[in-house]
Structure 1
């Protein structure tokens, strides 16, 4: 079930590199979030994330873990735009930052990244397009900041330094290291996070 490109409503001059965070252990969710199909959707969360990123990015890296990497590689085997990378041995179980390090290990120099997590199955192309047009930002509603939906610049050395210092919080990295500002958007079901809405997944609007 390889994802297909959709038509983009905008044309970006210099497209960023896409990141899909799909390596979480899904302990609260109870099953692999990346491969799950949730209410009102017909495809796995990871496929939805890739479909949203395809028109907006030059290449997509899926940050996987050792348990789901093979399934993800099979899912996107025919899509040359997508590459699956696995947590590096030195930074396993480091959350989203471990995934980010796995991606930057594939291309160590400074890059422009547009990042989404598979926690957001109802994310809309419109919201992601707005973020793609605003480097150094993350999405934020009046009630919540969404640090896993971010557009930023970084490189391997910076991520490594952050992790080796013992820090793991994505918020700290996005705000203090990547110097991102909030991109304020209205609250909507499109920003439903599966970690915070287990058992009460809304229908997409």
Structure 2
């Protein structure tokens, strides 16, 4: 039986390096976040926006609150997914518009997995919901790599790098 997968777009950041709201920054006439939503929708049973509101999508606030980086969004997604009967969460930040069409398959396997170069992109079993709460509460760095280690996640190197657009210059180069 195929696992039920919730696609979580992590979009709660302040975009300080970008200089404006990067989720809504246009790429080929469409906001970055919609590129990510489209890519995840093709691989997931449902899409969830974490850390912001976006018309037409189910949205949740970061957990346990804002300004926790991507872990706040992932924690919210794991809990939302658990409450609604999902088996796993496929996470990606709102600034990765060129996700592979087979990302879920590339990360599939036993337990959690993440893209080695971009650990915010990962496949996380719902069973990690309580573990992430403890990590967010107790780890002062709240790093994605630290979380991946605690989660026992496998690091997957993809054949092609996924562009991560942290600055307006990154977007211009893409």
- Say how many residue pairs are matched: 168
Confirm whether residue 179 of structure 1 aligns to residue 166 of structure 2: no
Deviations 1:76-129 (A, max 9, x none): 2xxxxx4111124x4321001111222234344684111111121222324x24
Displacement, 1:173? Answer: 0.7
TM-score (norm 2): 0.82
Q: C-alpha displacement at 1:132, in angstroms? A: 5.0
Partner residue in 2 for 1:4: none
| Matches of 2:131 and 2:104, distance apart in 1 | 26
| Residues 36 and 98, structure 2, Cα contact 8 Å, conserved in 1 | no
1:37-67 Cα offsets, whole Å, 9 max, x none, are: 13xx3311111111111122122221024xx
* Partner of residue 87 from structure 1, selected from 62, 72, 75: 62
Matching residue within 73, 88, 112 for 2:88: 112
Backbone CA RMSD of aligned residues: 2.4
Determine helix, strand or coil for the equivalent of 2:25.
coil
Alignment partner of 2:98: what SS?
Answer: coil
1:11-51 Cα deviation digits (max 9, x unpaired): x822322111111110000111211113xx33111111111
Whether the 8 Å contact between 2:12 and 2:73 is mirrored in structure 1 is yes
Structure 1 position 60 matched with structure 2 position 30: no
Which protein shows a greater Rg?
A: 1
Distance change >3 Å, CA 158–CA 111, structure 1 → 2: farther
Give yes or no for contact 2:33–2:94 (8 Å, CA) kept in 1. Answer: yes
In structure 2, the gaps of 5 or more residues are none
Change (3 A) 1:166 1:30: same
Q: Distance in 2 between matches of 1:200 and 1:101?
A: 28
Question: For residues 29-178 of structure 1, what are the structure 2 equivalents within 5 Å?
Answer: 29-38=18-27, 41-65=28-52, 69=53, 72=54, 74=55, 76=56, 82-88=57-63, 90-108=64-82, 111-126=87-102, 128-134=103-109, 136-140=112-116, 145-153=117-125, 154-167=127-140, 168-174=142-148, 176-178=149-151
